[in-house]
Amino acid sequence: MSRLQTDNINIGYGEQLIVKNLSVTIPDKKITTIIGANGCGKSTLLKAITRIISHQSGSIVLDGEDILKQNTKLLAKKMAILPQTTESANGLTVGELVSYGRFPYQSGFGRLKQKDYEVIDWALDVTGTAEFKFRPVESLSGGQRQRAWIAMALAQETDIIFLDEPTTYLDMAHQLEVLELLQKLNREQGRTIVMVLHDLNQAARFADSIIALKDGEIVKAGDAEKVLTHEVLEEVFQIDAEIGKDPRTNRPMCITYNLKKKEIGK
């Protein structure tokens, strides 16, 4: 049984509907990746599920209860999100940044306790950022900085982690570094990972389940073999793709593609 589901949710800004009657079940202790063209509703969906923005109708249920009825701090102990654009952390050390993940557990004057320090050190260690604990965040490379933000999310001690384009602006090596870290957290600690990715081959390589969106609606959902097909990619991205097999993972991969040719008069 899944802990997290949406039921016919509609999400929009003003009168513009971005996500339409969307029902989806997030598999527990798996990696789920959301793909789709720019503006299709990927980030909007993540923000609604994590209650950053409100949905207009339908329901989002976590552990059998609508998220709108759940206490904010209790919800923050269940779900963490790393947004697409992280806020500036200039002036903070890595350790100070990661300590912000302990906010849901603080009370009174918000002083950190021994348990908090232990969790912070654990998050730094598991993300390979312990050596940067006393360094300013702005002094880190892109990959190191992204791992520090992930450490902050881990310090929140949630079972479910959402990440909106966690590899954006990173070079190939740092992208792989971040994705392998998330895969390790999933496999070794059973964390449920939900992330938005633009790279189709990375989605196929690392995800157990893929959701393909178009205009705020699900075109296809399932494993990589079901979603990364010529037909689905044509509908979602308007491309003519050649699909093969990754020789290392045996999963489908997009070998090459062209823009879909439009018929004359259309």
Q: Which residues lie below 8 Å from residue 259, measured CB to CB, with a gap of 6+?
A: 238, 239, 240
- Which amino acid is present at 20? K
* Residue 139 lies inside a defined structural domain of this protein: yes
Tens of pLDDT, residue by residue over 169-217, are 788 988 898 899 899 999 999 999 999 999 999 999 999 999 999 999 9
CB-CB contact of 42 with 211 (8 Å): no
* Residue 116 lies inside a defined structural domain of this protein: yes
Distance CA 113, CA 96 (A): 14
* Residue 45 lies inside a defined structural domain of this protein: no
Single pTM value for the model: 0.90
* Residue 109 lies inside a defined structural domain of this protein: yes
* Residue 251 lies inside a defined structural domain of this protein: no
* Residue 226 lies inside a defined structural domain of this protein: no
Count of structural domains within the chain? 1
10 Å CB burial of residue 231 (0-12, 13-18, 19+) is exposed
Domain around 101: 86-157
* Residue 224 lies inside a defined structural domain of this protein: no
Model confidence band, residue 146 (pLDDT cutoffs 50, 70, 90): confident
Tens of pLDDT, residue by residue over 229-263, are 999 999 999 999 999 999 999 999 999 999 997 65
* Residue 114 lies inside a defined structural domain of this protein: yes
Q: Work out the percent of the chain whose per-residue pLDDT is above 90.
A: 80
